[in-house]
Amino acid sequence: MLNIWAIMMVILLVVVTIGISLYARSFNSNTANFYLAGRKIGFMTNSTAICGDYFSAASFLGVAGAVYASGVDGMWYAIGFGAAFVPVVLFLASPLRKFGEYTIPDFLFARFGKSHKARVIGVIMVQLICIFYLAPQMVGAGSTWDVLVGVGFLGMTPYETGVVATVVVMMFYVALGGMKGTTLNQMIQFWVLFTAMFLVFALVLFNGVGNYASQNQPLTNASTVTVGKLMEGEEGKRVYDKAKATMSPEAFAAVDAAVQKGDPNASVNVVLPQANKLHADRTMVMQEPGHRYDWLNQFSMVLALVLGTMGLPHIMNRYYTNPSGKVARLTTLWVLAFVAFFYIMSSVVGLGGRRFIPELAGMDPTTAALTVDGLLLKSDQILPVMGKLLFGEFGLGYVAAGAFAAMFSTVGGLLIASAASWGHDIYENYVNPNAPEWKKVLVGKVAVIAMSLFSLLVGLGIPAIGLDKAYPSLIAMMVTWAFAVSGGAFVPMLLSSIWWKKTTRNGAIAGMIVGGGGSIFFIMMNILKETGVFAAGSFGATLGSLTFPSIFIVPLSFLTIYVVSITDKNKMPVYVNNIWARIHGSDKLSERIRMQMKEAEQRG
């Protein structure tokens, strides 16, 4: 059954989005406006736009879902995401803006003596990070549409319909509105998703989150298994026996009915106690870590989240839209305030779900279909479900609008970052440097369309390879992978390049390759392990046991930069002192040096 409130609110959001894009298209006469909105975005507008960019499907849907599914382990997502802007304001925001380029690859080119190789490798890393970050947005779009509408169109499933609808809207509004339109849309979308989260948070807080916030309740989760898997092993140790001991007799009757039919490939929904990866001899509870990760992976995950933000292209590019380094710092301080409150709300909602969903799900047939014995089958659906249970159809509609606002905002930022990398870094500098402004802008729009279509393929392909079954909090997991790649590829390079004058071009390039390539390698190994490609105990499974590689890859990238730089025959750029003054001087001095270097370049 269609939710009329949800449909109306999402349509209103889309109409406003398109209207703003139509208004902003007149500001896209040149690439500085199309990619950077003329560098005239104030701190409050930019801070809300950055938050809209940052509060993706993983933040809006995934963090509350991770807390709901994993308790304390899930809260580390909120802590990591929330703390991420502290190093940004301390180390990157002001220097990047003072340097005054368009993109991170642009920074690499100018910082290392007009290095084309550094710029191209930077472009490759930008695209890889964008792909990793676009994937969970697509999953969020499909999952939200599944809960919101429940039906597909034109022969597609509800999930596929959600993915396609999101891509079509985003492709249109980003290509049309450029950075100006994207910024204004992100600001509005932020307030929609922020107030939607607050709506659920306020009622949960008012009524209390229940025992799960005050006592060590055993952690159980719903999952789907085959009948064959259910009956494997010795009697008393089978999944069947664990489910029978955990589930209510009424809920377990459906499991018994499926077993009696005798089809080993039939799927059945069960509720099971969760294993404790830190203390195998103890029961897993909500208030202790150990559900998803051992200590090494837990620490590595937080490191990936805290450092990864500093390398996200769609976040870092936003600092180039501020008029000065001072405004960039002020912007980040406001971002920190919004981020801290948002993730506190997400954690409370996740805990509240453990109380309210078992109490209320049985009263609503559509919600009950998403649960097993009072527990959600897909934890990422917690916010739409809570919205409906607590506020009825209006609540689901408003939360759905917030979810789509989160996805629109983040996808918009990713598409404009990807387009800037292809259009500005590649086309303008290597394919057609003398192209007129209208053609440069056109290429940027074509790049937006191309990346949109690619993200569509990624979103449709994820269920096909079984990732949604391998990871209980898939959206949060995939975003953490994107953070791990950005943290390995760009963070050591940026910090070294900005704060260590002796960093060389070859050192920076080697650091990006080791950091980005190493992160992707270990993530791929983990995916192959979790999807069953590697047999248990095999060498591949051992490599894949490291869910988040940042704890090893980031230090290795720093070490690589250091070793290569101090042994590099191609030492620092000739004008490194000017570059240093440009990075660390006052706003006026940085701009004057930038203009002098540009004039010298034009004179040859």
Query: Strand, helix or coil at 28?
Result: coil
Residues 177 and 27: their CA atoms lie apart, in Å, by 8
CA distance 376 to 276: 20
Residue 214 has pLDDT above 60, yes or no: no
Over residues 421-471, the pLDDT tens digits come to: 788 778 888 888 888 877 877 888 888 888 888 888 888 888 777 776 666
Inter-residue contact 363 to 255 (CB < 8 Å):
no
For β-strands 371-372 and 267-273, DSSP reports them as: unpaired
Task: Return the structure tokens found at 227.
Answer: 């009948």
The Cα 371–Cα 385 span in angstroms is 10
Q: What pLDDT was estimated at residue 89?
A: 77
Return the CATH number of 4-22+29-215+285-573, one of 1.20.1730.10, 3.40.190.290, 3.40.50.150, 3.30.70.20: 1.20.1730.10
| H helix or E strand, kind and range, residue 44 | helix 43-54
CA distance 462 to 142: 11
* Res 79: pLDDT: 86
What's the whole-number mean pLDDT along residues 120-129? Answer: 90
- The DSSP annotation for 370-399 comes to TEETTEESSGGGHHHHHHHHHHHHHHHHHH
Q: Please state at what angle helix 474-489 crosses helix 518-530, rounded to 10 degrees.
A: 160
- pLDDT value at residue 461: 83
Report the percentage of the chain scoring pLDDT > 70.
88
Question: How does 18-35 read in b/e, with b if 16+ C-beta sit within 10 Å?
Answer: bebbeebbebbeebbbbb
Question: For residue range 498-537, what is the model confidence (pLDDT) as tens digits?
Answer: 999 889 999 999 999 999 999 999 988 888 887 777 777 7
Give residue 490's pLDDT band: very low, low, confident or very high (50, 70, 90).
Answer: very high
Q: Is the pTM of this model over 0.75?
A: yes
561 falls in which pLDDT band (50, 70, 90)? very high
User: What's the pLDDT tens digit per position in 335-380?
Assistant: 888 989 999 999 899 888 888 888 887 777 777 778 888 888 888 7
Report whether 410 contacts 137 (CB < 8 A).
yes
Say what the pLDDT of residue 496 is: 93
- Say what the pLDDT of residue 520 is: 93
List b or e across 164-195, with b for residues whose CB sees 16 or more CB atoms inside 10 angstroms. Answer: bbbbebbbbbbbbbbbbbbbbbbbbbbebbbe
Q: Is the pLDDT of residue 211 over 60?
A: no
Instruction: Give the distance from CA 297 to its chain's centroid.
Output: 18
Q: CA–CA separation, 544 vs 327, rounded Å?
A: 43
Q: Report which of residues 365 and 16 the model is more confident about.
A: 16
Quote the mean pLDDT of the chain.
82
Question: What ranges in 490-531 are assigned the alpha helix state H?
Answer: 491-499, 505-512, 518-530
User: Residue type for 28, please?
Assistant: N
CA-based nearest residue to 362, from 464, 250, 472, 448: 250
Residue 601's pLDDT is what? 59
Query: Domain map of the chain by residue range?
Result: 4-22+29-215+285-573, 220-273
Burial class (CB in 10 A: 0-12, 13-18, 19+), 131: middle
